[in-house]
Chain A
Amino acid sequence: MGKFIAGKLLQYLIVIFLMLTLNFLLPRLMPGNPLVFLAGEDVGFMSSAEKEAILDKYGLNDSILEQYGAYIKNIFTGDFGYSYQQKRPISELLMERLPWTMLLTGLGLVLSTVIGVMFGAISAWRRGTRTDANLLTVFMFLSAMPSFWVGMILVSIFSAQLGWLPVFGAESAWSNYTGMDRLIDIGKHLILPLATLILISVTSTFMIMRYSMLNVLGEDYIMMAKAKGVKEKVIKYKHAMRNALLPVATVFMLSLGFTLGGATVIETVFAYPGVGRLMFESVLSRDYPLIQATFLIITFSVVIANFLADLIYPLLDPKVGSRNG
């Protein structure tokens, strides 16, 4: 058990180390002036004193190992550098954007899991029927649609054509709403991005729940319960669904990476002020330090979620813990 966790921890530390190194090397290995990657394409307009100041700040005149040491130290003290495009420290920008992304992806994950589990159970319970086939087809189609396009279509219908919901942002600008009004305003802005995120990420939970439920329904204890004359509802909810939920729990955490990636694109469509949108803005303005910082933050979140899933899983499934030692 302890060995299993330690192994996983080591693996995640390696991932973080590799990604940090990649981030460090990218601006230094690319052909051309590394200054462009650190300070943006405006370097052409900078005076040589300004350039010297930036070279000094990033220690580009030092040896590569010294640079690397300083870089790692900065990251772990929360200093992600400075965005020359937005003229602000990057850590400040990230802190401002993170809550919105957490709200969107957090709710998205929970809701898509609940919906996926429900439909997955129904599909498995009625395997081989019309309902099962229809649900499978619908969910397959959902997973084949590009996320940003789903978002665009929803905006076209519900915002532009029907005028029911706001088009972009996380809340109305300059509205000065307070208390309940502000919450309602935020909620209205959240509906469409959230719906998009759920639509594109629900299929994986559905498929896994269906598969796992099919396996459980084939177990002897279900047959036994049926033979004993236990009510169908009790078998379905108490015996089958509960046990089938196990694999879903791991997928919940593991799909965080996918959901965060999806959120990057969805936030862009809705101009939702999260980390993903920040990444897009930084790509547009070729703000390289900011692209790197947003990438690191997303990677950190995913790695932490993966590790949490590994910690929780043995608690849910005693077999895993004992098997590994």
Chain B
Amino acid sequence: MGGGAAGIHAALSEAAAGNKVYLVEHFPSIGGERIARDRIIGDGDAIYVPDVAEVKSHKKIEVLTSADVGALIGENGKYTVKLRCRTPRVDREKCDDCGECIKVCPIHMYDDYNEGLEWRTAIDFFNSESGNYNIFKEDLPVCQQTCPINLDIRTYVGQIADGKFAESLATIRQKLPFPLSIGRVCPHPCEAECNRGHKDEPISICFLKRFVADYEVNSGVTPNVQLTKVKYPEKIAIIGGGPSGLTCAYHLSLFGYENVTVFEALPEPGGMLRVGIPEYRLPKEILANDIEFVTRHGVEIRAGIRVGKDISFDDIREEYDAVLVAIGAHKGVGMRVKNEDAEGVFEGVKFLRDVALDNEVPNKGTAVVVGGGNVAMDVARTGIRIGFNEMNVLYRRTRNEMPASPWEVDAAEREGVNFHFLVAPQEVIVRNGRAVGMKCLRVRLGDPDASGRRKPVPVEGSGFVMKGDTIFAAIGQVTDNTLVEEKHGFQFGRKLNFQVNPNTFETDVEGVFASGDAATGADIAIRACAGGKRAAESIHQYLREKE
């Protein structure tokens, strides 16, 4: 197994001993990437050139390329190897190695065999020694594969390049109903994988999505709503009107479900997109456009109804044929330091929510923000906007380890947020019943822990006080699962998230599904949307099988 120099060497010596040999290679061609050689430090030239030609012509050796191993079964010298050889799409019996196909192929792609140092054509012989012609055609481009909801990026970007903006937006909406919002807030994992990044800089995929979505709004076009002729009568309740719940509702209505009701506890739908992401990143009226697109598909949103309080979970179960729990993760995690319940200490997520809902919030003096994620950045940048004189962010590792998106950190810094790295909060200092600062210790980075991140180690005698009239804890969120009770029989994870089957998003309770942050723990919006879409497919399957 493995057609590099070592594999070729082993195959030839086994064949010389009279054994029948199968040489199994994962890539389309044998030969390996390394120039195999003995140590040449001591003396002359000892480069070992694997004899690809002899392996190919040897009667005792059968070469199997593009092979994926399915199963290896057996023991004691009796083994079964189950292989699937990916098709080369070229009949090698017929191929006469003339090379004409390479001359006409218009696709010039990153040459992985040569480590990206040159380009090759989509039909190629991979390694010039082997002459195994092969068409490089994949199921999904790398961007699409990386996107949690598998948006057809290559198509919609190509449509923008052709000036077909409406078609591009339609491509996006086949899967995602929130192009305006996601096009603004997505941390775009697809761009990190973009192959163009190997050459210069990745394509600006996320902002291109925003562009086509903005283009529609700016041209005053109302998007078409196309629903299927097939209709289903079942009633589905979706608890939580955030990205996951609304994406699920959208896909259910595309399947033909006419009775989809979304229950939203807050006065306005949108979930974290509405009350988590600040307006300077995603304006309310922009988000409202995306949500309106979903409601125009016949989805009913009942805002201001908190399940577990205004209507019981049992009543919902009674009335609806299937239920999706997509309530997000809106509860801040405590800092676990002394006096953290003092007046003047706030959960970062609650602060953002209050700002978004125009509730009264502190906005004077100096504030301390504890945490290094995107919520901490949102709190700090919001604080600068609403009147705080100074926002001081404390993070216990360095800038390089910050979980926040680097562009958010840069923007916060430009806007005047102060960063204090390698600082661990110890205790909230309280005077006259109010927080007046945070006692901190300086730390240094020690050895990596189980997660691979270097663990902060306190520096003795380095204690100091960071003054602050207001202190925000932004170190993580968990799900508020109080809408259900123990008798319902749900299992919960570490983030109080609903345990689900990761493929179907089914909970342990029949007919109840969960997706988004409520199922995965706090994560990015596009992954919540992807979960909602998957949950819609599962709910559809569940209801149809029941029929």
Q: Specify whether A and B are partners.
A: no
